[in-house]
Amino acid sequence: MGFKKMQSNFTFTDLSLFSSMEKNRAIKRMEQINAIVDWSKIENLLMRTYPVGKSAEGNEAYLPIILMKCLRLQQWFSIDSDPELETQINDRIFFKKFMGLSFENDAPDRNRSQGIHVHG
């Protein structure tokens, strides 16, 4: 199984949007959050208790830090469903930047990910 390989390198799309991203206040806000929060400590804690992705069987899993950031975005922006969250991540530049995803990466798929659900 293992974890999905999420591309974080700059792509042509990233580079072509660079000048508009420099002026985007939402991206600046997300960059400030990422600068303040030590995500590596949170990721280490999550990896100790997250069972998905550690088996050789089954589909690849999303890293738990990616799923946690999904939940943060869902809460902060009052996104009321997983399908809408997926759409917003794929649509909003600053969501992708916050999550550290390349524009070539799709949002975590609500049908294939484990534990993205907030609403019962």
pLDDT at 120: 35
Does the pTM surpass 0.75? The reply is no
Q: How far does the chain reach from its first CA to its final CA, in angstroms?
A: 27
The yes-or-no verdict on residue 11 having pLDDT over 60 is yes
Domain ranges of the chain: 12-99
User: Mean pLDDT lowest for which of 22-26, 36-40, 76-80?
Assistant: 22-26
55 backbone dihedrals φ, ψ, rounded to 5°: -100, 155
Spatial separation of the C-alpha atoms in residues 104 and 118, rounded to whole Å: 26
Report the amino acid identity of residue 63.
L
65-115 pLDDT per residue, tens: 888 999 999 999 999 999 999 999 988 888 888 888 877 777 887 665 444
SS3 category, 27:
helix
Q: Which of 21, 12, 23, 68 is CA-nearest to residue 44?
A: 68
